[in-house]
Amino acid sequence: MRLKELREKRNITQLKMAMDLNMNQNTISRYETGEREAGYKELIMIADYFDVSIDYLLERSDNPKFFK
């Protein structure tokens, strides 16, 4: 998942992102390290937060706006 890349590119901390999405910072960290996988609801929230497609977020596309 491109979560860490997207977050760091926009200079957003895990804590800020967690607060914006009403999530736990530890959950964001675990998504980034692959210790935990995001569910459908969380994937949609994260993709919307960064204004990218879920396919881009999950590295299925290199086009941020591409929807399969």
Tokens of 34: 């692959």
pTM above 0.95, yes or no: no
Tokens of 48: 């919307």
**Dist. CA 63–CA 11, nearest whole Å:** 21
**For 20-40, how does the pLDDT look when each residue is reduced to its tens digit (9 = 90+)?**
999 999 999 999 999 999 999
Question: Among candidates 27, 24, 28, which has minimal Cα distance to 8?
Answer: 28
Burial (CB < 10 A; 0-12, 13-18, 19+), residue 54, is middle
Q: Which domains does the chain have, with CATH numbers?
A: 3-57 (1.10.260.40)
Using 50, 70 and 90 to split pLDDT, how confident is the model at 67? Answer: low
